[in-house]
Structure 1
């Protein structure tokens, strides 16, 4: 096995490992537990090393260097393009949390949180909030 990438934090290495294993490439993380235990040693040790078999190295480097940000932006989950506002029918919806400010104010006054906020979407055209699409 050869080292194809080094990461300062174990969670970054875990994300890269998951990407490679989803593509069917067997991986191994070296020094992951040492960095988790004493993260200040990460730079001295060279970080968490992501290792793959020599014959998979080129494919693994291609996968790690790929930029998937456009695919995420185009996905249905984040775009809201397939869903419409139930009030006006507009497709211009943005993720929104209703009741976040009052919950914070209650936390400041009482000293403990009362979570009465709701996650959903707010229409940019009419301002209508909905949590069901």
Structure 2
């Protein structure tokens, strides 16, 4: 008997998680992959593609999938972050300005009039840069 530990909308997401678990020696299986591949509109109705593991591995698998390795990847890739205009901190993240307004206008008019612009937000002071990121 297998225990479902995660649900995914697309099979490739489940296979990435399965590969991560198997690289750590945890047996993992992807369920409902073929059904979703044949009729992807049923994905949400069926609960998506399921990632399953044997019961003795559930806690270890959940802990492994819950790890956030984004900082390690950024260090390895040498990502250069933009400095905050207000406080000068380099602790910034990508942010889309105007996204909420663009969505609301699209809902009302069925036409995208407001463009969303990519910029950066400071994690330290919360300041959002006014100019678009390059």
Q: Shared fold by TM > 0.5?
A: yes
Whether 1:41 and 2:22 are equivalent positions in the alignment is no
Q: How far did 1:11 drift?
A: 1.0
Alpha-carbon deviation of 1:19? Answer: 0.7
Secondary structure, counterpart of 2:5 in structure 1: strand
The aligned length equals 79
Structure 2 counterparts to residues 68-87 of structure 1, below 5 A: 68-75=69-76, 78-79=77-78
Task: Quote the Cα distance in structure 1 between the aligned partners of 2:43 and 2:36.
Answer: 5
Q: Which has the larger radius of gyration?
A: 1
Q: CA RMSD in A?
A: 1.5
Q: TM-score, normalised by structure 2?
A: 0.56
1:28 matched to 2:24? The reply is no
Shift of 1:37: 1.3
Distance 1:21 1:63 in 2: 11
Distance, in Å, in 2 between the alignment partners of 1:50 and 1:68 is 20
Give a deviation string over 1:109-132, Cα, whole Å, max 9, x none: xxxxxxxxxxxxxxxxxxxxxxxx
Structure 2 stretches lacking a partner, 5+ long: 80-134
The structure 1 segments of at least 4 consecutive aligned residues displaced by more than 4 Å after TM superposition are none
Residue number in structure 2 paired with 1:114:
none
Distance (whole Å) between structure 1 residues aligned to residue 15 and residue 66 of structure 2: 16
Q: Secondary structure at the match of 2:4?
A: strand
Which deviations, in whole Å up to 9, do the C-alpha atoms of 1:67-114 show, x marking residues without a partner? 000110111xx218xxxxxxxxxxxxxxxxxxxxxxxxxxxxxxxxxx
